[in-house]
Amino acid sequence: MCRDHDELDPLPTTVTRRGVIGGAMAVIGAGLAAAGLPAEAMAAGGGASTGGTGAARAASGGSSGVGSPAAGRAGLGRPPVPGAVVVEGGTLLDPLTGQVVEDAVVVLDRGKVVASGNRSQTRAAAAAVQGQVIDAGGRWILPGLVDVHVHENAVADAHAALVLGATTVRSGTSDFYQDIGLRALGPWAPGVVPRMRATGTFITPDLGTTIIGDPALAPLAGGVRTPQELRYMTSVNLDRGVDWVKTRVNPRAGIPDQDPLVQVYDYEQIRAIVTEAGNRGVGVMCHSYSEKAIDDAVRAGIRTLEHGVFVGEQTLLRMARQNTYFTPTMSAINGLKDSPNPILKQRGEQFFPVLQAAVRRAAELGVNVVAGTDSFGLAVDPIGGEVRLLHEAGMSALDAIRAATTGAARLLGLQNTVGRLARGYAADLILVDSSPLDTPAVLEKPHLVIANGTVVGG
């Protein structure tokens, strides 16, 4: 539902010094100390994340996770290379094939999977490395999970999601391009923040205080509504090096005085965004609720439908044909039912069963359903909880796990990097206490998380 963190206030007539300083602190990563970032990584990360333009993204390796050669030329060194970790004795699940290997061994080194399988298959690789050995006896070994819809504006936010098993995430927009800074920080601070796909700022009719986050947005002080304005704001995000563009067709469900079924952008407006982004090979994710607005967005060519509670049958069929992904954010919608506000509580009770039926039907029709919690800040819903809710809505346990591993990785263009523990994949791993195929809820509380070859601290 894209919670009220990015429910933007009207543009202020004055800007206070305190507000500017507060925004700057968020941009540079407030919460570094809380997340346990070492001082040396903090210094290196600051050098790596300066800027935020497309050129800076290219210099830092962008979303590829490659270290910054520019930093190397400046004498700041290169990102640390994780050492070897051997995880042995657990039951290994490969989400792609569904294969289960008992008494398995996974060998990680230099941030990659060197080998995985039974003891005989991995014996040589395990003997060839020296490093930490983790006894996984009695537990299940899975690849790190992927949350394709989160809002992280500080290092502490990102770390909170990582601790709960989300080793890769896609930003659902940030206030002032903090997600671009977090993306650059990842390789310099292994085990502190997850791998990030950045989305930048929300393309919405009224920008509110976000407009002061980038001087290039000043011409949009009157709003973002015409095709020209929509293309312009899309291009600003693209120039800052985003991996995705985020927009909307409806207001939020989590704001009591807004009607989430009112349509704010139509087909032509969304098409302008999709075309501009597509010209540079970037997909569009779209916040949505009402049936007509959803259909407009899907026909306009969005890549992922976010929330999508009242998606219709014909639109689901179109999504299956067009390979449009569906991120239902079930944790967020379900959470409305616990709201002390009677309007939000009623909305959650009305929306959630409709969303469950939509997920079930989408899966039946072959729509790619992926897992995203729509978490914001430190109020993190575990990505494992989204897997559980997808399963409860009617997806098989394995397909629900794929929604947070191989399916999500494919959406993000990381199908050869994350979502499995096969040779050459990223050294992202979680241990859980029992079989997630029997009880997906076990994914909500990982026993251990390894990100980029580094054991994650709480």
pLDDT digits (tens, 9 = 90+) for 30-68: 444 444 444 433 333 332 232 333 333 333 334 433 345
Question: Mean of the per-residue pLDDT values for the chain?
Answer: 88
pLDDT at position 157, please?
A: 95
pLDDT at position 76, please?
A: 82
Q: Is 160 helix (H, G, I), strand (E, B) or coil?
A: helix
Domains of the chain, earliest start first: 145-418 (3.20.20.140)
Using one digit for the tens of pLDDT, what is the confidence trace for 92-109? 999 999 999 999 999 999
Is residue 210 scored above 90 in pLDDT?
yes
Residue 355 has phi, psi (to 5 degrees) of: -65, -40
pLDDT at position 70, please?
A: 59
Find all residues with CB under 8 Å of 348, minimum gap 6, and list them.
333, 334, 335, 336, 337, 338, 339
pLDDT at position 71, please?
A: 62
Q: What is the band of 6 on the pLDDT scale with cuts at 50, 70, 90? A: very low
| Averaged pLDDT for residues 70-78 | 71
Are residues 267 and 315 in contact, defined by beta-carbon separation less than 8 angstroms? Answer: no
Q: What percent of the chain has pLDDT over 90?
A: 81
| Averaged pLDDT for residues 126-148 | 97
pLDDT at position 23, please?
A: 40
- Can you say how many angstroms the Cα of residue 244 is from the centroid of all Cα atoms in its chain? 11
Using one digit for the tens of pLDDT, what is the confidence trace for 178-206? 999 999 999 999 999 999 999 999 999 99
Is residue 357 scored above 80 in pLDDT?
yes
Q: What is the band of 69 on the pLDDT scale with cuts at 50, 70, 90? A: low
Using one digit for the tens of pLDDT, what is the confidence trace for 402-456? 999 999 999 999 999 999 999 999 999 999 999 999 999 999 999 999 999 999 9
d(CA 309, CA 333): 9
Q: Is 100 helix (H, G, I), strand (E, B) or coil?
A: strand
Tokens of 115: 């080998």
Q: pTM for the complete prediction?
A: 0.88
d(CA 263, CA 321): 24
In the chain, what is the straight-line distance between the N-terminal and C-terminal CA atoms, in Å?
27
d(CA 212, CA 418): 36
Q: Is 104 helix (H, G, I), strand (E, B) or coil?
A: strand
Using one digit for the tens of pLDDT, what is the confidence trace for 143-190? 999 999 999 999 999 999 999 999 999 999 998 999 999 999 999 999
- Can you say how many angstroms the Cα of residue 289 is from the centroid of all Cα atoms in its chain? 20
